[in-house]
Amino acid sequence: MPHKAAPFDALDRKIVAALMENGRASFAEIGTAVGLSSTAVKRRVDRLRADDVITGFTATVRPAALGWLTEAYVEVYCDSAAPPRRLAEVVRNHPEITAAMTVTGGADALLHVRATDVEHFEEVLERIRTEPFIRKTISFMVLSHLLPDSPEAGARQPSPAHEPRGESLPTQRTGHNRP
Amino acid sequence: MPHKAAPFDALDRKIVAALMENGRASFAEIGTAVGLSSTAVKRRVDRLRADDVITGFTATVRPAALGWLTEAYVEVYCDSAAPPRRLAEVVRNHPEITAAMTVTGGADALLHVRATDVEHFEEVLERIRTEPFIRKTISFMVLSHLLPDSPEAGARQPSPAHEPRGESLPTQRTGHNRP
DNA sequence: TATGAAAGGAACAAGGT
DNA sequence: ACCTTGTTCCTTTCATA
């Protein structure tokens, strides 16, 4: 057995919660919060990372501040036998797609797309629709967020593989982080 | 005008990118990556935080490791004149809703929901549907992710802070958790 | 640049198997 | 006895005025 089922206890949960609330909290700080020494916290965090419970640390960013003013969800309908694998390839070709998943319901997949503005979004959409086996798309533009720190609001922005206009925007398309 | 448009230059962009890739990177580390001294980096990071370009730091977590095995998007249709404000209140009452936004298209809002399992999701859905002016919901269960670290995959979950019951890995049940 | 704080490692102690 | 998980130093690196 390669991985033993990590005994994820209440202490781990508190540590994870502390790190989700403040990803730069010091081990000592977390320690006093959960009742451990800093080194004990570090060991547990190391283990949580090794077990891929914690997959990384990131700054949360306000996309609008970086020029990503437009956001939409796009339902994708594929030709008959569209293998998810091929869809995954397609999705990776468009850096503006910040999340993509297969879903139940009429559509085959749901994409989350960020663009600098509506014009840019239209360009992205056209690009997606020219992909081989994509039959149809239905878009929902995001108007306003009802929760302050929704994941979509900050976690990831697309890379400016080819920046759409004028100024280049910060990269990203994160993989994992090793501190 | 309260906020002056912060002069957001290429260096800032690189710093933000570095911090999104590794939210616990030291200022010195970032400095060598972008060609600045650690103190210069700190000054810029402080400014980026003050300007709310960077809104915080967080650990990215694999929800399944915490027992959140089920994920869905829910389109919400409201009664005639449903003010977004009221929807925001409703949304805050259900900790399983991890993102919520008003959207164009037929639906009034789109919710992202996490639950421990399908049973739990059904319970959440029933709870949402009993809310006063919600007329109808349409759910899309997420089957598989096509991008590795999509925001939805890791950024925020209902807090793991409180241990709901028992022990071991698949945590969380009906004892709903507030952050 | 200088001071205190944090990270990270080594060595050791207590419980549980 | 051994493995796990906690502790207390200690040194190097970092944060920050």
User: pLDDT band at residue A15, thresholds of 50, 70 and 90?
Assistant: very high
Q: How many domains does chain A have?
A: 2
Max Cα-Cα span within chain B:
57
- pLDDT of B28 > 90? The answer is yes
Question: Which residue is listed with tokens 């935080």?
Answer: B49
A49 Cβ within 7 A of any nucleic strand C atom: no
CATH number of the domain that residue B25 is part of = 1.10.10.10
- pLDDT of B71 > 60? The answer is yes
A56 is a domain residue: no
Supply A153's token pair: 């609001």
Q: What is the pLDDT of residues A136-176, one digit of tens each?
A: 999 999 999 999 865 433 333 433 322 322 233 333 333 22
Looking at CA atoms only, how far is residue B138 from chain A in angstroms?
Answer: 9
B107 is a domain residue: yes
Same domain assignment for residues A86 and A17? no
Residues of A whose CB is below 8 A from B175 = none
HSE toward the beta carbon, residue A121, CA cutoff 13 A: 22
Q: CA of A86: how far to CAs of A12, A76, A89, A93, B33, in Å?
A: 38, 13, 5, 11, 35
Looking at CA atoms only, how far is residue B124 from chain A in angstroms?
Answer: 17
Contact flag A65-B53 (C-beta cutoff 8 Å): yes
User: pLDDT band at residue B149, thresholds of 50, 70 and 90?
Assistant: low
Average pLDDT over residues B151-168: 35
Full residue range of the structural domain in which residue B18 is found: 10-50
CATH number of the domain that residue B119 is part of = 3.30.70.920
Same domain assignment for residues B134 and B70? yes
